[in-house]
Amino acid sequence: MQDGGVIWRLARFTPEEAMKKTILLAACLSLVAAEAGAISRYDPTRMSCDRVQALVTREGAVILRYRSKHNPNLPLYDRYVASARFCDMGEVRSRAYVPSADTSSCPVFKCKRPDNDRRFRRMITPFD
């Protein structure tokens, strides 16, 4: 009777009850997945560099949004990470700088695709 035990447990619900339970389970799982995909957004120009770095370290990955210093009407943003484990496959962690309230270049990290073409470029040397 062990083979049919699972089937018997599923069969004790009417099709309507089974459908309701399936929808409820799917809704719960989608809420959990939505929370896992959430990423916080911050304006680094409203906080100190130490606080920006602490936020990135604490949350693992954040979006920092600030205005361009060359064109104040142009908002700039990117995803900054605490470690390479927050990067997608094929990406590496790279140093970047964002403005903060106390400095114009606060060091943080972001993910980027490595420039593999550099290794294969031929060195061009001028002839003397």
Beta bridge partners of 77: 65
Q: State the Cα–Cα distance between residues 59 and 52, nearest whole angstrom.
A: 11
- Give the number of domains in the chain: 2
- Quick check: is 96 in a domain? yes
Task: Indicate the pTM of the whole model.
Answer: 0.62
Q: Let me know whether 80 and 45 are in one domain.
A: yes
Give the bridge partners for 111, in sequence order.
Answer: 93
- What is the reported pLDDT for 15? 76
Domain range spanning residue 56? 39-115
Q: Are 8 and 67 found together in one domain? A: no
What are the structure tokens assigned to 45, written together?
């120009």
Residue 50 covered by a domain: yes
Q: How confident is the model at residue 16 (pLDDT cuts 50, 70, 90)?
A: confident
Q: How confident is the model at residue 122 (pLDDT cuts 50, 70, 90)?
A: low
| One domain for residues 30 and 44 | no
Query: What's the chain's average pLDDT?
Result: 81
Q: Are residues 105 and 85 in the same domain?
A: yes
* The pLDDT of residue 22: 74
pLDDT score for 35:
45
Query: For 2-87, where are the alpha helices, taking DSSP H only?
Result: 2-11, 15-36, 49-59
> Higher-confidence residue: 77 or 33?
77
pLDDT digits (tens, 9 = 90+) for 61-117: 999 999 998 998 999 999 999 999 999 999 999 999 999 999 999 999 999 998 776
| Domain match, 72 and 96 both | yes
Tokens of 16: 């309507």
Q: Do the beta carbons of residue 82 and residue 93 sit within 8 Å?
A: no
